[in-house]
């Protein structure tokens, strides 16, 4: 059912996008042809699609995980930024063999993001401060912390960017780039895949996952059943933030090699849409993030090959996201339709 809902959302979104193209005097079939070619035409483009999807997989996973435990983590952007910042700091300051260094960066990135979500988690558990408000605030604290810290400690060639990480501290792999003929896809993609697998296992197969979900379903019932609710809330924010932190590692030490100040990563907010379209299931998130990656990656090619201006391309993507985000509506319509039919049957019979 969830899959049908998501597919319906995508199809509706694509249809609405086609309508928009037609209304502005462009050929939808041609537009979509180049959109998908742009993301899939050759190995390099496929690699770029996967690389674009990588941070989205992780932020989507982060948001989905929090959703499953009844929390709305809207702070993935800040957690991602801060996690990426911590990993970047380690990359600059620590000198270790590459494999150890990369693992350390992953760990520190996770902890950085986790720390950023831990604070709203504690505020929620102890003082019942709504996590939407506190995570948004934490976004801006991360933004300005990085804004201050990068020029002060890791100043690069230009004023608005950190120094580039040394090759030793980057997730680039030559064999991967060669396999995908010069694409910038990197080890970050594997971090994302592994995170999907671990999170899936954690949510569905472990006691901890069960407890966290139980709190999400009904806090009071969970408390009555003897689950430490406050601890669970803190725990799930911690994990959710950590996963977002990994997105930062993949973005700033994989897709890019430096951090720019003055920008909250857009992937943080896109993660919400990814999670919704993926029905908050880890595998669903993986698929929907790759779909988003395809749209973002192919958009430029569509724009270059046709006369569709980039703003229209943006709007088309926004419409698809919108339908994905409102997939709950489709659910409701479907239920209404079903109950009406059931009622009709009763009346008829």
Partner 1 sequence: MKKGVMSLLSLALSVSMLAGCGSKPEEGATGGAGGEAPKASFTVGMVTDAGTIDDKSFNQGTYEGIERANKDFGTGLKYQKPAGTTEAEYTKEIGNLYDAGYKFIVTPGFKFETAIFKAQEKYKDAKFVLIDGAPNSGEPDAKPVVADNTVSIFFAEQESGFLAGVATALQLKEGEAGFIGGIQIPPVQKFNWGFQQGLNYANENLDTKVEIKKDNVVYQGTFDNVAAGGQLASQMYSNGVKVIFAAAGGVGVGAIQEAVTRAKGGDEVWIVGVDVDQYNDGVYGDKSVVLTSAVKKIDQAAYDMIKAETEGKFPGGQTLTLDAKSDGVGLPAENPNLSEEVLKQVDEVLEKIKSGEITVSAEQGDLLP
Site residues for partner 1, 265-284, by CB under 8 A, read 265-266, 269, 272-273, 276
Shortest separation between residue 159's beta carbon and partner 1, angstroms = 4
Give the residue with the Cβ less far from partner 1, 47 or 112. Answer: 47
Shortest separation between residue 345's beta carbon and partner 1, angstroms = 29
162: which strand partners? 155
Contact 106, 191 (CB under 8 A): yes
Q: Considering the rule CB under 8 A, would residue 32 count as an interface residue with partner 1?
A: no
According to CB under 8 A, which one of 53, 74, 196, 229 is a site residue for partner 1?
74
How far is residue 247's CA from residue 253's CA, in Å, rounded to a whole number? 10
- Total interface residues for partner 1 by CB under 8 A: 54
According to CB under 8 A, which one of 210, 305, 330, 334 is a site residue for partner 1?
305
How far is residue 14's CA from residue 28's CA, in Å, rounded to a whole number? 10
Site residues for partner 1, 226-265, by CB under 8 A, read 255-258, 260-263, 265
Map residues 34-53 to x or -, x wherever contact with partner 1 holds by CB under 8 A. ----x---------x--xx-
According to CB under 8 A, which one of 3, 314, 337, 341 is a site residue for partner 1?
314
Shortest separation between residue 197's beta carbon and partner 1, angstroms = 26
Contact 283, 193 (CB under 8 A): no
Burial class (CB in 10 A: 0-12, 13-18, 19+), 333: exposed
Site residues for partner 1, 120-139, by CB under 8 A, read 132
How far is residue 111's CA from residue 121's CA, in Å, rounded to a whole number? 14
Residue with tokens 């406050």: 230
Give the residue with the Cβ less far from partner 1, 147 or 198. Answer: 147
**Cα 118-122-127 angle, rounded to 5 deg:** 155
Q: DSSP characters for 288-340?
A: HHHHHHHHHHHHHHHHHHSS--HHHHHHHHHHHHHHHHTHHHHHHHHHHHHHH
**What H or E segment, with its residue span, contains residue 275?**
helix 267-277
Map residues 153-182 to x or -, x wherever contact with partner 1 holds by CB under 8 A. ---xxxxxx-xx------------------
List of residues contacting partner 1 (CB under 8 A): 24, 38, 48, 51-52, 70, 72, 74, 132, 147, 156-161, 163-164, 184, 255-258, 260-263, 265-266, 269, 272-273, 276, 296-297, 299-301, 303-305, 307, 309-312, 314-315, 318, 321-322, 325-326, 328
């Amino acid at each position: 059912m969830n899959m049908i809902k998501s597919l319906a959302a995508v199809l509706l979104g694509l249809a609405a996008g086609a309508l928009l193209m037609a209304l502005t005097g462009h050929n939808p079939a041609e537009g979509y042809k180049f959109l998908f070619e742009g993301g899939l035409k050759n190995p390099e483009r496929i690699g770029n699609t996967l690389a674009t999807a990588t941070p989205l997989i992780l932020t989507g996973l982060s948001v989905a995980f929090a959703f499953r435990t009844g929390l709305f983590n809207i702070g993935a952007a800040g957690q991602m930024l801060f996690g990426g910042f911590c990993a970047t700091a380690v990359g600059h300051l620590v000198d270790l063999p590459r494999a150890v260094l990369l693992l350390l960066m992953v760990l520190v990135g996770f902890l950085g993001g986790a720390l950023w979500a831990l604070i709203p988690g504690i505020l929620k558990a102890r003082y019942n401060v709504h996590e939407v408000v506190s995570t948004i605030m934490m976004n801006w604290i991360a933004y300005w912390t990085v804004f201050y810290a990068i020029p002060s400690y890791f100043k690069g060639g230009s004023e608005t960017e950190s120094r580039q990480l040394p090759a030793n501290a980057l997730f680039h792999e030559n064999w991967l780039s060669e396999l995908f003929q010069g694409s910038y896809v990197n080890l970050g993609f594997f971090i994302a895949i592994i995170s999907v697998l671990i999170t899936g296992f954690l949510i569905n197969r472990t006691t901890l996952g069960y407890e966290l979900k139980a709190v999400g379903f009904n806090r009071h019932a969970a408390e009555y059943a003897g689950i430490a609710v406050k601890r669970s809330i803190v725990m799930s924010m911690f994990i959710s933030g950590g996963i977002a932190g990994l997105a930062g590692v993949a973005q700033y030490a994989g897709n890019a090699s430096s951090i720019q100040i003055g920008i909250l990563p857009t992937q943080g907010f896109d993660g919400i849409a990814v999670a919704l379209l993926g029905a908050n299931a880890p595998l669903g998130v993986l698929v929907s993030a790759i779909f988003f990656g395809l749209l973002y990656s192919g958009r430029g090619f569509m724009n270059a090959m046709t006369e569709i201006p980039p703003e229209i391309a943006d709007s088309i993507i926004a419409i698809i996201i919108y339908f994905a985000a409102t997939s709950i509506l489709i659910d409701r319509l479907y239920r209404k339709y079903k109950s009406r039919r059931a009622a009709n049957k009763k009346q008829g019979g």
